[in-house]
Chains A and B, each alone.
Chain A
Amino acid sequence: MRKNRPWLYSLFWIVVSFLTLFPIYWLFVISVKPAVDLFSTPDILIKSFYWQNYIDVLNDRTLRGYMVNSLVISTGNAVLCTVLGFFACYALSRFDMGGKESIFFWTITNRMAPPAVFLLPLFLLMTQVYRIGDFSLLDTRIGMILVYCTFNLPFAIWTLRPTVDGIPKELDEAAYVDGASPWKVITEVVLPLARPGLAVTLILTWVFAWNEYLLAATLTNFNARTLTTGLSEYVTTTGTEWGIMAAISVFTLIPALIVFGLVQKHIVAGLTFGAVKG
């Protein structure tokens, strides 16, 4: 589009946003309705607000514990995966290790595993093998942080690899010539240039961990239960509490939005780096 017509873009985005927001709007609609009202011909607009679902959620102390677990596990896992993934990508990109492309491809196969059947071996390993005395990894935050690496670490490696590859090797070389240590090169030369990629990786690994359900449902019991497993408590034979589930979901949007807000700036910050690379 040669001619700059910003309002056209805004219009386009308004339409896209409407489509994006509608299900989320509907989530909110569900959260402010009594359950019985869900079973009638629906009104597209909210006619009255029923806040009981929110009051119930706010009064539920166990949910607060779940929220903390979710925050700790997803943040811990996202940081761990982004850091390990970044190191791994730097190794794959800069060193002539034998078979490194095979290793690169192999990492992603860990994400391909259909999860249902891997729950049993993970359960057995975490209860019987990965344990010291009475402490086993099952039902611990650190256990979940490590388990989530199986799908998030490959993801981090695969999203970071193009970024790290795209940073010219000449920059490292120059730094080495100036006498910098490898650590210094990685943290002070490569890391700043990889910021947009790191930011996206951090956000997305965080999101995957935050939303994970099946593994958490099986591998946590009392101490490390996450919000998504908390949601499943409301699916029972005497009624699925749609309203409460929706209210919880609305609450879960808040920390997620904060994390997004914090990290998004860095994605945009990348815009200026194109110039450096020339």
Chain B
Amino acid sequence: MHSTKLGWLLLAPTLLVLFFFGVLPFIYVLYVSFHQWNPFAVNPDMVFNWAENYRRVVFDAQFLASLGVTAAFVFFAVISELILGYMLAQAFMKDFPGKAIFRTIHTLPLIMAPIIVGSIWKLMTTPSIGILPNLLDNWFGYDLNIGQSAIAAFVTTVIMDIWHWTPLVTLTLIAALVSLPPDPFEQAQIDGANKRQIFWHITLPMIRPAILATVFIRLMDALRTVDEVLMLTGGGPGSATRYVGVHIFKEVFPRTNYGYGSAISVVVLYLTIVACWLLYVGLIAPRNKKA
């Protein structure tokens, strides 16, 4: 085909921007992560301490607990968003009255800043004065208390995330679905395939790259969630919603624990890459081999 020179030329601006604003900061963080550094310690300077920070990370019960709740949060939120998002995207493939309006409504949560989403959900769920605890109490006699019940707070953050980000999944999947060629589907119907067969053997393989891209994005964004949760629960009650994003925020912002916070960040980044790589290899690689 054409000379790869043109390919590199097209790729160059992307690589440059990511190098200056992604790679260089990362190198700095990596450098700091091998130092003891808290500007409000007796010695405010960076002190090289080998891999001491990393040794601590492995035994840091608080961090490991944070990692655990984060994994649960990401799992429930992303799976739900994917299933709901796919169903909604499919439903949008049909024509029905008022479709344009519904599509607009469905994208509204996306355009709310996380800090605002956190504020609304906080005001909706505060015990005694929020609308949700009142309604749930009136209808089912259930006492929703996200300031005291770990499970209630966890579920609320998951629902908030689903509410906020399912539209993203729907939109990307709509874009994938509308680009599908109709022939295989027509052929399958002629061959007498049922709906489930069509889904598993035709639709799913064809939109797999789009699904993977969406899952990646949601996965890493859910792992980075800070603003919404900080606003809603502050990471509480206790440490029930102290997700890694929130944990790191509290380590480096108020606690100014730059050295250790950098080490945690590098570990989280590494774990995210591994998780995504496994997904990538598991879902994309077999397809490429077949092709």
Contacts and interface: CB of A to CB of B under 8 A. Distances in A.
A96 B114 contact: no
A20 B175 contact: no
B190 interface: no
A16 B88 contact: yes
B83 interface: no
A211 B114 contact: yes
Contact of A113 (B14, B24, B269): B269
Interface string B97-128: 11100111111111111111101110110001
A260 B14 contact: no
B146 to A, nearest CB: 15
Given A6-B96, A87-B11, A120-B258, A26 B120 contact: yes
Contacts of A273: 178-179
Contacts of A274: 178-182
Interface string A1-41: 10010110110110011011101101100100000001111
| Interface SS majority for chain B | helix
A95 B129 CA distance: 60
Contacts of A232: 115
A111 B111 CA distance: 20
Nearest to B273: A109
A200 B175 contact: yes
Interface stretch (B48-56, B196-204, B210-218): B210-218
Contacts of A114: 223-224, 244-245, 248, 265, 268-269
A105 B180 contact: no
B290 interface: no
Interface residues of B, number: 105
B80 interface: no
B183 interface: yes
Interface stretch (B2-10, B57-65, B234-242): B2-10
A91 B248 contact: no
B109 A20 contact: yes
A203 B128 contact: no
A249 B116 contact: yes
B108 A21 contact: yes
A210 B123 contact: no
Contacts of A228: 113, 115
A213 B216 contact: no
A4 B268 CA distance: 49
A117 B97 contact: no
Contact of A275 (B109, B182, B227): B182
A210 B114 CA distance: 10
Contact of B17 (A4, A105, A153): A153
A53 to B, nearest CB: 14
12 contacts: A7-B97, A10-B98, A13-B99, A20-B167, A21-B108, A40-B129, A44-B135, A105-B280, A124-B28, A158-B216, A246-B116, A274-B180
Q: Closest 8 CB pairs between A and B?
A: A95-B7, A256-B111, A121-B28, A9-B96, A121-B25, A110-B22, A91-B10, A162-B209
Interface of B: 1-2, 4, 6-11, 13-15, 17-18, 20-26, 28-29, 32, 88, 91, 94-99, 102-117, 119-121, 123-124, 128-131, 134-135, 163, 167-168, 171-172, 174-176, 178-183, 207, 209-210, 213-214, 216-217, 220-221, 223-224, 226-227, 244-245, 248-249, 251-253, 258, 261-262, 264-265, 268-269, 272-273, 276-277, 280
